[in-house]
Structures are given as structure tokens and as C-alpha cells.
Amino acid sequence: MTAPAYLILDTEVIDPVAYEEYKKNAAPIVKKHGGEYLVRGGAFDTPEGNWPITRLVVIRYPSRAAADAMLNDPDYAPWRALRLKIAKCNMVVVEGVTAPV
């Protein structure tokens, strides 16, 4: 059984208007690769530590290969370039577990 993968992105949006355009156009490409938004900028707090989160996004993919395919999809390239211009981002992709621990 293939483990799911989670793309976790902390984003400081610099241009909110352009970011809305990015979100609208990136979402279908995420879906094309089996991605499902689990968190998309909701309210949060930091009960422990000193993690300076700005805007958190978590996307579940069916596998690491699917997450990588989305990030490398030529259809995503112009939207990724836009995101890099209009937001400061930290991103991690992590493999999940296949069964409860």
C-alpha cells in the first residue's frame, strides 16, 4: 500500500489580489494529481513553541509521486512562478503512514 504524502506550505501573501488568481488556477492542477486541500488558510494558534506561521496550507496526495508530479507539472509552472513573485513561502512534502500507529 502506498503511503499518502502531505504538502505543507506556510505562505506570507504579499499581493492578495494576485494570490486569489493563483489559488483559482492552482486548485484544478492540485485536483488533477489527486490532491485534496485539508487546510487552506484557516484560523490557527501555536500552543507550543515559537513557529511564526503566517498562512498554512495542507494538501493530501495519494503518494509522494503524485505530489512531485503536481509540483513538476508544466501546467503548474506559470502559477508557481506567479506564487514566487507574490508570496514568501516555506514548503515541505512529507510521507504519511499507511495504517494507524
Q: Which candidate, 29, 35, 24, places its Cα nearest to that of 66?
A: 35
Q: Quick check: is 101 in a domain?
A: no
* The total number of structural domains that make up the chain: 1
pLDDT average, residue stretch 43-48:
90
Q: Quick check: is 86 in a domain?
A: yes
DSSP designation for 101: -
Residue type, position 46, single letter: T
The confidence score (pLDDT) of residue 99 equals 74
pTM for this model (two decimals)? 0.92
Question: How many angstroms separate the Cα of 6 from the Cα of each of 64, 69, 80, 82?
Answer: 8, 13, 18, 22
The confidence score (pLDDT) of residue 101 equals 66
Please, which pLDDT band fits residue 51 given cuts at 50, 70 and 90? confident
Domain holding 41, by residue range, is 5-45+52-95
